[in-house]
Structure 1
Amino acid sequence: MKLDGVLFFPVTPFDGSGAVDAGVLALHVKGGLEHGPGAVFAACGTGEFHALDADEHELVVSTAVEAVNAAVPVFAGTGGPLPHAIACARRAEGAGADGLLVLPPYLVAGPGDGLVAYVEAVAAATGLPLVLYQRGGVRFTPESVARLARHPRVVGFKDGLGDLDLMQRIVLAVRAEAGEGFLFFNGMPTAEQTQAAYRAIGVPLYSSAVFCFAPHVSLAFHHALATGDDAQRERLLVEFFTPLVRLRDQVPGYAVSLVKAAVRLRGLDAGAVRPPLTDPSPAHLDQLRQLLAVADGLA
């Protein structure tokens, strides 16, 4: 499998009663498609996978698949307790997803052999390709990732820890086992901040939450990085991405909450986030509006 370009991680809209709003989600996904993402990752971190039950997860994935209409690959999030991860994986396959992003098994940190067994169990549940995701309490070793890279359906690895030394060793270990075709992703929040460093160690792909609400800025950054326009890349970092990160770091969970709030401020009623996340305070919403105005000026 080959992926390229900006990767779109849509939010999951909820209506006034708190239910998944499939209609708004379809509009959100179709709106993003107009800007040419390389793939759509539905019901993942930005899409509040942690807060969805299996029925809701299936609805989100099927809605995204229908909205995308085979224009680009659709990956679905899965993870958490192993039975739930397997159930979500099977439903995602039934809903037409092209692949899975395997999020961490929450609240536990197993050894390398345990993480390998977890991934192998999810892989055995479907015929879909898998991308692994390390973040939080999940920390793979280079040896365990290289071992999993030999699995015919494990096609990629996404890093959300920010340990570049570890990630470099993982890249080198996997290339020795799987060659150049294996996919590596930067999954740090606001990944644009660190992508130049990740790119230098062989990690060309990254998730862009900003694509949800300011796709022109996301695409401008990607173009600047791809063409070596360091002046433009640094301008975007200084004027937009770094202030966004400062705001994001004010409250745990704002990596998702601010994105959803920005989608709402752009005129799409995506609703609130679900607990344990919280929506931005009025003061932080004002700061977010100012950042959106900055983004518009960068068009």
Structure 2
Amino acid sequence: MTVSTSLSESTTARLREGMARGVLSFPLTSFDETGVLDPRGYREYVAAQLDTSPGAVFPACGTGEFFSLEEAEYGEVVRATVEAAAARVPVVAGAGYGWAQAARFARIAEAAGADALLLMPHYLTEAPQEGLFEQVRQVAARTALPVIVYQRSQVRFTAATLERLAEIPNVIGLKDGHGDLDRLQSLKLSAPEDFLFFNGFATAEIVARPYASIGIPAYSSAVHAFAPEIADAFFAALRDGRTARTEELLRGFYLPLVELRDRVPGYAVSLVKAAARLRGRPVGPVRAPLTDPGPDDLADLDALLTTGLDLVGAIR
């Protein structure tokens, strides 16, 4: 596969600009009540998300239930996102599993017009650093798209491995989901100056200030998937150094959201989708192995959503 250095450079520049301007959007994938992909609902939903001017959009990733999509569904979701974005912001499609499967998804994303890939952790097994490196290299070698690697769960790179990854022409950045700031600082200092980093911690706003303190202010926002008004208000307060406002939002909305999220495994996605439904968004239920929230949790979520929107002066 021939990799264009200019494509990687231009995509990196667009992503860097977007990361400075707004949160990174990870849209939900719309299903109907029977669990079938709802293309019309998704197009309506993702168009509304894009109208809030995120820094970039990442379809078919963890929040978008990549792990439960068929290849044809995946292609339809990425294509719809590309069409809705209309080159206003970069579209970074998720890809994952073993390298052979990830490469198939990469080819689909490329054909659908994506600007880059987010390479999510491989499937199931632990692996040594050489294996982690080779997994990324094999995928990157099979696509012309720029690749951002995602470290979380069983994927945790050393500084030496990241240095090698950064030498691959189309590997342009790292999303971090571990929150180990000592290790992350080492990674950042070992990488080239133009290498992208962003905070991909679950409910990233909770740790946005510590990440920013080591030079990583950009982050993905699951809250943006259902309440962009809250997500954008927090981003602006953090960017502008308004500590009292930042802490008001953390105390009144984000910390209670994390407490609710931690009640049931999988709520990091299920609650987000439920909140979007509470706001009338056409996203439908989650697919197995996730489960939708029960009545008590849904009532608590509804009350918290009202509180968050009131804090930013948004209309329900």
> TM-score under structure 2 normalisation?
0.92
- Out of 170, 176, 190, the position equivalent to 1:173 is 190
Output the amino acid matched with 2:248: R
Q: Write the mapping of 1:178-189 to structure 2, written as runs, cut at 5 A.
A: 178-179=192-193, 181-189=194-202
Q: Write the mapping of 1:134-283 to structure 2, written as runs, cut at 5 A.
A: 134-174=151-191, 178-179=192-193, 181-283=194-296
1:76-109 deviations in whole A, cap 9, x for unaligned?
Answer: 0001122210100000000000000000002112
1:180-199 deviations in whole A, cap 9, x for unaligned?
Answer: x1110111111000010011
Output the amino acid matched with 1:230: T
Output the amino acid matched with 1:90: R
Unaligned runs of 5+ in 1: none
- Out of 6, 27, 40, the position equivalent to 2:57 is 40
SS at match of 2:256: helix
* Partners of 1:240 and 1:294 within 8 A in 2: yes
Unaligned runs of 5+ in 2: 1-11
RMSD of the TM alignment (CA)? 0.9
Output the amino acid matched with 1:258: L
CA distance in 1, matches of 2:230, 2:282: 21
CA distance in 2, matches of 1:173, 1:50: 32
CA distance in 2, matches of 1:281, 1:162: 30
1:252-273 deviations in whole A, cap 9, x for unaligned?
Answer: 1100000011111110231111
Q: Which residue of 1 aligns with 2:4?
A: none
Q: Alpha-carbon deviation of 1:292?
A: 1.1
CA distance in 2, matches of 1:55, 1:115: 27
* Partners of 1:248 and 1:254 within 8 A in 2: yes
SS at match of 1:50: helix
CA distance in 1, matches of 2:115, 2:51: 20
SS at match of 2:45: helix
Output the amino acid matched with 2:83: E
- Consecutive aligned runs of 4 or more in structure 1 exceeding 4 Å deviation: none
Q: Write the mapping of 1:68-79 to structure 2, written as runs, cut at 5 A.
A: 68-79=85-96
Q: Which residue of 2 aligns with 1:31?
A: 48
Output the amino acid matched with 1:228: G
SS at match of 1:273: coil
Q: Which residue of 2 aligns with 1:60?
A: 77
CA distance in 2, matches of 1:13, 1:215: 17
